Structure 1
Amino acid sequence: MTAVASKGSSGGTALPEARIIPRDQHPISRKQISRAALNVLYGLHEQGFQAFLVGGCLRDLLCGREPKDFDVVTDATPEQVQRLFKRSRIIGRRFQIVHVRFGREVIEVSTFRAFQRDDQELDRDQHSAHEETGLVLRDNTWGSIEEDALRRDFTINALYYNIADFALYDFVGSRRAIERGEISLIGDPEQRYREDPVRMLRAARFAAKLGFRLDQKASRKIPELAELLLQVPPARLFDEVLKLFLSGHARASMQQLQDLGLFHFLFPETDRSLKGPQGKVWEKLILAAMDNTDRRLAQDKPVTPAFIFAVLLWPVTVARLEKLRADGMPPAPALHKAAGWALNQQVQHTAIPRRFSTVMREMWDLQDRLPRRGGRRAEALVQHPRFRAAYDFLLLREQAGELPAGLGDWWTRYQDADEDQREAMVQALGPNQGASGGGKRRRRRRKPANSQG
C-alpha cells in the first residue's frame, strides 16, 4: 500500500492522504464491473479526465455481494460529461449529476465536490445554499478528489477505484472499516446529520443490509436528532422507506429504526399503535409482512410498496375504524373514512403516490368483504384484481392473532377447488353469508396474479 501526500487544506481543514492499494493487493477485477460503467470510465479517461468508481459498488464487491449500481466520479463538470456521451442528461438541482444510459443500464456520474468551508469563508451564494439549521439545500461547488472523499457520508462508502491504474484509493480508512464491519461517519456526526438528516436512515439501512455495526459516535446522536427528519420532503422519505423495506432486509431495518428512535418520525401513528394495548399483535403482523416481503424478494417474486404500506397503516386504520363504529357509523362508510384519515396523516411524513394508495384502499376494503362469501360473492371476489394481495394480507392477520384462524384456510381451499367443489363449499356455509341472487352460475376461472398487489 502506498501513501500519497495531502494536497493542502480546504478552509483550514487538512485534506487526507490517499492510501493507494495496487491491483495485486485487492480482489476487485474489471470482470466484476458492468460494461456500461467501464464505457463511462474509459470514455472519461481517454479524454484526459480523472475517472473513478466510488462508494457502494466497491463496498459490496469487497463484501462478496453483487452491486446493483455502479457510480462514477470525475473531475469533469456535468456539462463536460454530457458533451462526451450522447445518451446522457443532467438531473438535480440540490446535487447536479449526470445520468448516462447504455441500453437499459444507467450510470450515475458526479463531479468531485468541494469540502464545506467554515461559515466565515462562505461567499454569498454558498450561504444561500444552507439553512440556519445546517441543512444543505444546494451543493454544486466542484473540488478535488481529496475534498470529495471528505464529503462522503460514511467511511464504508468513500473508497475509489481508478480506471487509470486499477488501484483502490483509500482516504479515510474505508477498506479497514469494511473489513471490520463498522459504520462510522466522516467528520462530526451532528454536523453531517444536520447537513442531510436522511443520513440517519442510511446508517440504519446499511447496518441492516450489511449486518455491520454502527460505531458509538455514529449511533449516539441519532435519537437526539431524529426529529430532523421532519425537515425532509415526504416524497424523498417515501423513496428511503422503499430502500429500507423493499430491498430484502425489511425486518432488520425495522429493528434498526426502532432501536435508533427513527421509526416514530416516519410512521408516527403506527408507532403509537405499537405502543398501545394491541401493540404485540400489530408488531407480529408487521414483522410477518416484512418476512413475507423478504422471502418473496429472495425468490425473485414481485413485491409492491402498496402491500407493505397497507400493513404498516392497518393498525392506524383499525383504531380509527373502531372509533367511528363506536360513534354509530355503519361498517362500510366507517372503513372508507378511517382509511382516508390514516392516509392523510401518513402523507405528511412519507408521500404515498395515488397508484399505491388506491391499491391499499382496495386491499383494506376486501378485508371487510372476504368473510361474506354467499351466493355469487365468493366467485366475484376471487376474480377481483386485488384478491391475491388481500388474501395474503388476511393470512398474515390470522398469523399475527388479530383474527381467529379459519377464513384464510377456506379461501385457500376455494382457490384450489374446481367449479363443482366451489359451489359445494359455498352451499355448506349456510344461509347467513349475505347471499345475493340465486342458482348456480358457471364462470370462467381466472388464475389470480402471483403478486402482492
Structure 2
Amino acid sequence: MFGRDVIEVATFRGHHSESNDKVSKSNAEGRLLRDNVYGEIDEDAERRDFTINALYYDISDYSIRSYGGGINDLNARTIKLIGDPDTRYREDPVRMLRAVRFATKLDMQIDAVTADPIKALAPLLADIPAARMYEEVLKLFFAGKAEANYNMMQRFGLFAPLFPQVGALIEESPKGHAAKMLQVVMRNTDIRVSEDKTVTPAFFFAAILWYPVKQRADDIAIESGLTHYDAYVAAMGDVLEKQCLTISLPRRFSTPARDIWQLQLRLERGQGTRAFKLLEHPKFRAAYDLLLLRGEVEMGNIAKIAEWWKAFVEADETDRSDIAKSIKGSNSRNRNAPQRKRRRKPAAKPAEE
C-alpha cells in the first residue's frame, strides 16, 4: 500500500522442468496443473508467454528490461511466443486465445511460427476448467473487439471448442441462421460497447445459443411428442447443461437467459392487446432486442413479427392502442408452432326410409 494506491507484486518464477512433483506438476498433454517454482528475473522472463509480456520496469534506474526481443516485437507490432509454440500452448492452451485477443486489441499480427500450431491444438481448450473459460469469454467478447476476435477464432478453429453446440450448427450450415446470428451478435455487442451501453452475458449467451435451443426443441417435440412450449423448456435445460461443460455460466445470467428464450415464444404470438402485458415483463427489452436480431437473420414471418413489435414499442400510447387493435386474433397465433390437427366429424348417415 502506498497511501491510497495499491501496487501488485508477483514473485519471479523458475523453470518447472527442473523441480520435483511437490511444487510442479503437468498432465499427459503437457498442461501445467501446479506450478510454484521460484527463480530469478532471467528465468521468469523465459517463462512469460509472449515476448511483449517479457518487459520489466526497473525502479532503481527507471529503465525497461526487454527479454527475447520484446521491444523490437512491440515496435514491429508482432505477437511472438517465447520458446517452442507447441510446448507453450500445451502448457496452457488459453495462450492461444490470448494470442488472438492481444492481436485484435493492440492491432498486431501473430507471428507465423506462433500461429502455425494453433489450429491443430485448438481442441485442447476443451480440457480447460469451465470457470476459467467464462472469464476468458468476457475478455474476448465484452471489450469492443467481439467481431474481430470471433472471426480470428473461427480462422484458427478456436470457437467450436468453447461453444460446441453452436459450432456444430455452423459446420453443418456455414451460411445458416446460427452463423448469421453470430456475426450480428458480435457486431451488435461492439456497437453497444462503443456507445458505452451495457452488455450482459445473459443476453449474449441467450442470443448465440438460441438456434441450438430451437433445434433441440424441434428434436424433443418429434422424439417425445411434447407440446411446443414444453419441448422448448426441456431444450433450454439441455443446451445450458451442455454449454456449462465448457463455459461455466453463473446462475445469475443463465436464469435471465431462460426468461429471454421463453419470451420469444410469447412475442411470436403476443401481438394485439396482449402486447401491453408483455411490455411490463422485467426481461421484455432483452427479449425484444433478441427478436429484432432474429428478424435480421431469419427474414420471412419472424421479420414481420419483429417489424410489428418495433412499430408498437416506438409508438406513443394512443398509436399503440390503434396498432394493437389493428391486429386480428388470427394473426396473433404462433405460425411457427406446430398446430393441432383437427379431426373431421364423419358425415351424417342418411336416415333410413
The TM-score normalised by the length of structure 2 is 0.87
User: Who is 1:397 aligned against?
Assistant: 294
Indicate the larger mover: 198-207 or 134-143.
134-143
User: Who is 1:384 aligned against?
Assistant: 281
Q: Distance in 2 between matches of 1:376 and 1:415?
A: 13
Contact 1:373 1:433 in 2 (8 A): no
User: Who is 1:70 aligned against?
Assistant: none
Return the match for 2:14 from 104, 108, 114.
114
User: Who is 1:359 aligned against?
Assistant: 256
User: Who is 1:286 aligned against?
Assistant: 182
Q: Distance in 2 between matches of 1:111 and 1:241?
A: 27
Q: Distance in 1 between matches of 2:8 and 2:42?
A: 20
Change in 2 beyond 3 A, CA 1:375/1:281: closer
Between Structure 1 and Structure 2, the one with more strand by share is 1
User: Who is 1:138 aligned against?
Assistant: 34
- Kindly provide the CA deviation profile for residues 404-440 of structure 1, in whole angstroms up to 9, marking residues without a partner as x: 42222222222232333222111100122569xxxxx
The yes-or-no answer on 1:431 pairing with 2:347 is: no
User: Who is 1:250 aligned against?
Assistant: 146
Indicate the larger mover: 327-336 or 289-298.
327-336
Contact 2:271 2:309 in 1 (8 A): no
Pairing of 1:142-153 with structure 2 (within 5 A): 142-153=38-49
Q: CA deviation at 1:374?
A: 5.0
Contact 2:272 2:326 in 1 (8 A): no
User: Who is 1:223 aligned against?
Assistant: 119
Q: Distance in 2 between matches of 1:262 and 1:150?
A: 26
Q: Distance in 1 between matches of 2:272 and 2:185?
A: 32
User: Who is 1:421 aligned against?
Assistant: 319
Contact 1:149 1:158 in 2 (8 A): yes
Pairing of 1:138-217 with structure 2 (within 5 A): 138-217=34-113
Structure 2 residues not aligned, in runs of 5+ = 334-353
Q: Distance in 2 between matches of 1:234 and 1:387?
A: 29
Indicate the larger mover: 107-116 or 175-184.
107-116
User: Who is 2:306 aligned against?
Assistant: 408
Change in 2 beyond 3 A, CA 1:142/1:402: farther
Aligned residue identity for 2:236: A
Q: CA deviation at 1:394?
A: 0.9
Q: Distance in 1 between matches of 2:264 and 2:90?
A: 42
Change in 2 beyond 3 A, CA 1:115/1:402: farther
Pairing of 1:309-348 with structure 2 (within 5 A): 309-327=205-223, 328-348=225-245
- Kindly provide the CA deviation profile for residues 17-66 of structure 1, in whole angstroms up to 9, marking residues without a partner as x: xxxxxxxxxxxxxxxxxxxxxxx6xx5xxxxxxxxxxxxxxxxxxxxxxx
User: Who is 2:22 aligned against?
Assistant: 125
Aligned residue identity for 1:123: N
Q: CA deviation at 1:124?
A: 4.1
User: Who is 1:262 aligned against?
Assistant: 158
User: Who is 2:346 aligned against?
Assistant: none
Aligned residue identity for 1:242: L
Contact 1:150 1:186 in 2 (8 A): yes
Between Structure 1 and Structure 2, the one with more helix by share is 2
Q: CA deviation at 1:387?
A: 1.0
Contact 1:113 1:144 in 2 (8 A): yes
The TM-score normalised by the length of structure 1 is 0.69
Aligned residue identity for 1:109: V
Q: CA deviation at 1:391?
A: 1.1
- Kindly provide the CA deviation profile for residues 247-280 of structure 1, in whole angstroms up to 9, marking residues without a partner as x: 1101111111111111121111111101224743
Matched residue of 1:399: which SS? Answer: helix
Contact 2:89 2:95 in 1 (8 A): yes
Matched residue of 1:138: which SS? Answer: strand
Contact 1:316 1:342 in 2 (8 A): yes
Change in 2 beyond 3 A, CA 1:269/1:402: farther
Change in 2 beyond 3 A, CA 1:301/1:196: same
Q: Distance in 1 between matches of 2:126 and 2:229?
A: 34
Contact 1:273 1:279 in 2 (8 A): no
How many residues of Structure 1 are paired with residues of Structure 2 in the alignment? 331
- Kindly provide the CA deviation profile for residues 346-376 of structure 1, in whole angstroms up to 9, marking residues without a partner as x: 1111111111111111111111111223564
Contact 1:266 1:350 in 2 (8 A): yes
Matched residue of 1:264: which SS? Answer: coil
Q: CA deviation at 1:177?
A: 0.7
Q: Distance in 2 between matches of 1:156 and 1:137?
A: 25
- Kindly provide the CA deviation profile for residues 90-138 of structure 1, in whole angstroms up to 9, marking residues without a partner as x: xxxxxxxxxxxx48xx654311111334xxx4234235x3333322122
Q: Distance in 2 between matches of 1:365 and 1:402?
A: 20
Matched residue of 2:28: which SS? Answer: coil
Q: Distance in 2 between matches of 1:123 and 1:218?
A: 29
Q: Distance in 2 between matches of 1:279 and 1:182?
A: 32
Contact 2:23 2:36 in 1 (8 A): no
Indicate the larger mover: 151-160 or 407-416.
407-416
